[in-house]
Structure 1
Amino acid sequence: MRRERARILLDALLTLGPTFIKLGQLLSTRPDVLPTEYIEELAELQDRVPPADWAEAQRVIEDELGPVDDVFDAFNRESISGASLGQVYTADVDDQQVAVKVRRPGIESLVEADLRAIRWSIPIVVRFVGQGQAFSLENLADEFAKTIREEMDYSREGRMLTEIRANFADEPDIVIPTVYEEYSSDRVLTMQYIEGTKISDVDTLERRGVDRSQVSETLERAYLQMIIEDGVFHADPHPGNLAVQDDGSIVFYDFGMSGRVDSFIQDKIVEFYVGVANQDIDAILDALIDMGTLSPEADRAVMADVMELAIQDARGENIETYRVQQIVGKVEDTIYEFPLRLPPNLALVLRVATVVEGVCVTLDPEFDFITVATDYLAEQGYREESIRQFAAGTAEEFQAAATSVLRVPPKLERALDKVEREDLYVRADLEDSNRVIDALARRVVLGLVLATSVPTTAFLYVTADVTAAAISGAFTAAVGAALYKTFRRRNGLQASPQFTRQNLRERDGDGDDGGTALARSGSQIEADDAGTATNGD
């Protein structure tokens, strides 16, 4: 049933157009909002949309840079990639081949209208979900609006690309295109055209003798450096935005989706990875709570089992089916109230971690993500630092414990004296974070009022005048409606399609993922080359 509903949601997102296609892609990275079946279905949502007419794209270029033939030495009018927010062309500048990314004409007003619709609908949707999902949905709306606006700002993309490129200036295994600032603006981005083989084209990489295991390690180390050390990272590492050169170096494309990590989150991510490396479940849970991804009221015993199982699975260890069933049984009945959530500043980081791991496993099925991360942390000195911090923390705890030993006996004696005098009081506070008791009390009160007002109305109708009975009847109807509202369920919405699943499938043979421009390993550009990757949105 979930799978079928996920397909309906997928079709609805395609129907609603470019903004909602982007929303679907973002939802596919949010397991705190949607069940696994939805995540898997939406993960297939491709950003393949028919390109805009050249005449419209030409107006954008000329409004920003001037006449196309005057600005560029040569310009190929056929786009090599079309996406919901932009499309990519190839051109020549000073005898150098470049990729020119052009924002889709008129997309700004469409996106803003769609964002308003999403923002207005969130207060309605959150009334029908649990507190944890409501938290994630509200953050998702803020994050999505911020992300899609940033992705449409090509000036920002150029700055992020240049900054990340500088951070890897001394890394020959990481290749990032150069931005041609004099040929770029808010709506047009011109960058170096770099050839490469799409990172998921395993057969071609094998034929060219590329060490796929080494490529996987290089990719993970690059993202660990971006997130843990540099604080600025490329946030869209799907296979269409990554290519591999014959020497094993990795080419990064499309920096429209990129983000920053503040120093506090960096420290907590390090603590999380060190906890995973040491298999210290308590340290992992503490890091998740500090980052805001785990509720402090979470059942630590259950979460410890979940984390232990996740670590074993990530390491490829054999797990007893019976144990899996036990742990799943603990959480499956309350999965929507599960205390995991994603604050906005961590959503892109999670997207990077999950997508990068998927790419690495595609390259090398035996790839151990945790081992590489552990080695990286050890090389950078993070594990040694955590040991020193642990030793210092342990000394402080020992000192505090020794002090407590001296303070407890007098306090215990005073408490026993109060018991003896019958002067000991205990106060208990009932916490209802999900407002379950409040909702139940409201239903009980409304039910009692309704049960009283119905016979009262009947009595007034028989013994009094019609006016009094009508007033009582109206009151009874209002109470009944209020009671019904507490049990009400939502209905679906329908819209006429802008894009259809068939429309997108027809384009599957025409090119790569619409979010990328084709990078070619030869001099001839062919739109149906499945073994290539490129610059693009």
Structure 2
Amino acid sequence: MAAVLARSGAILGWRIARSRLPGGRDRSDGELGEWLAQVVCELGPAFVKAAQLLSARVDLLPPRVCRGLARLHDDVVRTPITGLAGLLGDRLGEVGHALARSCELVGSGSIACVYRAVTPDGHEVAVKVRRPGIESVLRRDLAIMCSVAGVLERTPMFRGVPVREIVGQLADSIRGQVDFEREAVELRELHAGVRDEERVLVPQPRPELSTRDVLVMDHVGELDRRQPWQVTREVREGAVLAVLRSVYRMLFLHGLVHCDLHPGNLYFRRDGTVVMVDAGFTTRLGEHARTKFTAFFYCMSLGDGPACADVVLSTTKPRPGADVDGFRCDLAELVEVNSGLSAAEFDLVSFAASLFDLQRRYGLAADPQFVFPILSLLVLEGAVRDMHPEVDFQHEAMPFLTKALMERVVSTDTA
């Protein structure tokens, strides 16, 4: 780790110094992003996954750092798995050997590769295969990360910041992403959750062909990244609304959060359908967190700033020296200012960045269960804004918010 950081640090310093010379261009933001992506890849797969998760945590890191880490959402390891036929044969027997003969690499990452294949009975499937030995590598990397976190937490710069807790949350999420049996369950739930939206498709897992390190699912074709001008406006807008309804239904009514709906996992097709893939980074909100987030979003849609501040404060942990009154005042103002904007003017990214920045500046540690759904919507907004810039996130959420709150009231009265 020291060698990687020292070498990469020297490279970054040289590039930035070169850009400051007469006639050079100031590309410090781009240089930082390239450097971060390179360093993280060299450190190992656990660091790659942690950086991918942190890339949206503008409540913890400066925006320019988050932009640099966001590069890691693309394929970062482009090598196929060696010995694939033997691995699939060991896990799935003759069916595995048959799948291996038809496998074609379509995607790769630090933890797994995805292949297109054909089953012996002629069905086209997608086969997600975990890289051999990745669990032991992750255990080593995560142990290093936890040790470093313990040291950082005792330094003056990070005093009062729950570094170990943050790293522990990241580690739990990373461990969950290597368990394909868990992902198959989440994929089944996502598939069921979009059943009411004809335009939204989630591949159906094939549990009889899946194991802890091999996930087989129905193959969905035409997963090209469409640009807005390649699809008619009517088709684009209808598809975006269908995605939003599906995400809101899962989030507010079932507490299921897909935290990774970036353009690499959300595909708009020419026929107006949308395909969601990869349930590796999903989380389930507890009843308390789901109720709090629903109440926050509802109060936000009404422009009730003080109520939003009270909801957020009930989910945070004050650090030493926290200014609760200052946070309440500024958050109320932030909500009230944004509630008067038109749909085209409201920017969820800017709002969430301001919300997280207020928590950081006033000494409040965000509850990760409250953060995950906001991050989910942030990632989703980035994927759909180009397709439907006028979409009103708050307005489209209202039917699901109202239903969720009414169900909560009924269940409380019944209890």
State the TM-score bracket (shorter-chain normalisation).
0.7 to 0.9
1:155-205 Cα distance to aligned partner (Å, 9 max, x none): 111111112222333332321211111211001011000123446532332
Q: Distance in 2 between matches of 1:261 and 1:109?
A: 29
Q: Is the 8 A contact 2:258 2:281 kept in 1?
A: yes
Q: Distance in 1 between matches of 2:270 and 2:178?
A: 32
Q: Among residues 262, 277, 295, which one is paired with 1:238 in the alignment?
A: 262
User: Cα–Cα, structure 1 residues 171 and 53, in superposed 2: closer, same or farther, change >3 Å?
Assistant: closer
Equivalent in the alignment of 2:76: 49
Q: Among residues 154, 158, 179, which one is paired with 2:205 in the alignment?
A: 179
Q: For residue 371 of structure 1, report the CA deviation from its aligned partner.
A: 1.9
Q: Is the 8 A contact 1:161 1:255 kept in 2?
A: yes
1:368-418 Cα distance to aligned partner (Å, 9 max, x none): 21222235434x3748989xx9xxxxxxxxxxxxxxxxxxxxxxxxxxxxx
Equivalent in the alignment of 1:39: 66
Letter in 2 for 1:186: R
Query: Does the alignment pair 1:344 with 2:368?
Result: yes
Query: Does the alignment pair 1:97 with 2:121?
Result: no
Q: Distance in 2 between matches of 1:313 and 1:36?
A: 23
1:24-61 Cα distance to aligned partner (Å, 9 max, x none): 11111111211111122222223423444553333322
TM-score w.r.t. length of structure 1: 0.62
Q: Among residues 117, 121, 131, which one is paired with 2:148 in the alignment?
A: 121
Greater RCO (CA < 8 Å, at least 6 residues apart): 1
Equivalent in the alignment of 1:213: 237
User: Cα–Cα, structure 1 residues 182 and 306, in superposed 2: closer, same or farther, change >3 Å?
Assistant: same
* Structure 2 unaligned blocks of 5 or more: 1-15, 17-27
Q: For residue 95 of structure 1, report the CA deviation from its aligned partner.
A: 1.6
Moved more, 34-43 or 242-251: 242-251
User: Cα–Cα, structure 1 residues 263 and 222, in superposed 2: closer, same or farther, change >3 Å?
Assistant: same
Query: Does the alignment pair 1:281 with 2:305?
Result: yes
Equivalent in the alignment of 2:12: none
Equivalent in the alignment of 1:451: none
Q: Is the 8 A contact 2:81 2:131 kept in 1?
A: no
Q: Distance in 2 between matches of 1:350 and 1:10?
A: 24
Query: Does the alignment pair 1:356 with 2:380?
Result: yes
Q: Percent identity?
A: 27
Q: Distance in 1 between matches of 2:286 and 2:346?
A: 37
User: Cα–Cα, structure 1 residues 68 and 210, in superposed 2: closer, same or farther, change >3 Å?
Assistant: farther
Query: Does the alignment pair 1:303 with 2:331?
Result: yes
CA RMSD of aligned residues (A): 3.3
Query: Does the alignment pair 1:256 with 2:280?
Result: yes
Equivalent in the alignment of 2:175: 149
Q: Among residues 210, 222, 227, which one is paired with 1:201 in the alignment?
A: 227
Query: What's the secondary structure of 1:89's corresponding residue?
Result: strand
Letter in 2 for 1:119: C
Equivalent in the alignment of 1:108: 135
Query: Does the alignment pair 1:83 with 2:109?
Result: yes
Report the structure number with the largest CA radius of gyration: 1
TM-score w.r.t. length of structure 2: 0.79
User: Cα–Cα, structure 1 residues 210 and 196, in superposed 2: closer, same or farther, change >3 Å?
Assistant: farther
Letter in 1 for 2:331: M
User: Cα–Cα, structure 1 residues 16 and 245, in superposed 2: closer, same or farther, change >3 Å?
Assistant: same
Letter in 2 for 1:305: E
Q: Distance in 2 between matches of 1:293 and 1:247?
A: 47
Q: Is the 8 A contact 2:112 2:131 kept in 1?
A: yes
